Amino acid sequence: MQGDNNARLFLNKLIEVYQTGISYDAVVITRGGGAQSDFLIFDNYNIGRAVAKFPIPIITGIGHQKDVSITDMMAHTNTKTPTKAAEFIIAHNRSFEMGLLAVQQNIVIKSQQLFLRHFKILEELKKNISLNTRTLLAQHKEKLSFSNQRIAANVKDILHEHQKKLSLKIQFTAQTSQNLLRRKNSDIEHLAGNLKLFSRACLRSKNLHLEHMQKSIALMSPQNILKKGYAIVKANGKITSRANDIKEGEDIEVILYDTILKSTVKEKIRHDGRETDL
């Protein structure tokens, strides 16, 4: 797994994943054991840079218990083994699923409670309307009967008068019921609208959090660090930050943001780091 050729193959695989156009949730990089030298490819600059800039979250499970590679540091999430990577994904998906199920269950429960409460109110109104109507009918029938017995000559006028009053009262009762039902339906629609707004606000908050994480990862890329004036030193083809790895007279490469400087070490002078101490 060493060498520029293997690194290019690795990068090509990442490019192939990106070019498929499929909106994958994540890309998992694993290593199923092997020699210590097989671990070196994951310290390749180009691979680390590609992982840091990759638009899809990358999870590593390279399988090395002691060392952390550049690829691990650039990844969205790093784990020690392929098994741990799988456990992380399963746990993440399970947590997301449980959250959705909890929200769904709460919506169902609230909807059922709301429906039951209004159903009971409507049933009570229905009973009251029916009872009041029967009571009114009984009262007016009794009055009509009494008036018919006492005033036979004016029976038609009396019947007409009471029928008119009865019709008005029934009409008023029906109109009152319709207005009440309309108000209750409006309340239900208002509650449904609030539930939709809450769901959208929750999703918007999660999206903002994901965007913040992506920006933070981008700021950690080696290219952004080089822009700030730092440099990478390579001796014998390897990146190093230790003076003991470089001997006087050896050739080294100093990698800046847009230039590589090749030079020969004439002298090593000890530096305490105070000039760059923040």
Do 69 and 32 lie in one domain? The reply is: yes
Domain-located, residue 88: no
**pLDDT > 90 fraction of the chain, expressed in percent and rounded:** 33
Structural domain boundaries, residue 255: 231-272
Do 267 and 168 lie in one domain? The reply is: no
* pLDDT mean over 21-25: 90
Q: Domain total for the chain?
A: 3
| Whether pLDDT at 272 is above 50 | yes
Domain-located, residue 94: no
Do 58 and 154 lie in one domain? The reply is: no
Domain-located, residue 278: no
- Please, which pLDDT band fits residue 3 given cuts at 50, 70 and 90? very low
Do 71 and 25 lie in one domain? The reply is: yes
- Please, which pLDDT band fits residue 108 given cuts at 50, 70 and 90? very high
Burial class of residue 62 in the structure, from the number of CB atoms within 10 Å of its CB (0-12 exposed, 13-18 middle, 19+ buried)? buried
Angle at 79 between CA 64 and CA 66, to 5 degrees: 30
Residue pair 49/43 in contact by the 8 Å Cβ criterion: no
Domain boundary among 196, 219, 242: 219
HEC string for 61-115: ECCCCCCCCHHHHHCCEEECCHHHHHHHHHHHHHHHHHHHHHHHHHHHHHHHHHH
* H/E stretch holding 223: helix 222-227
Domain boundary among 80, 114, 137: 80
Do 266 and 197 lie in one domain? The reply is: no
Domain boundary among 180, 196, 219: 219
Domain-located, residue 66: yes
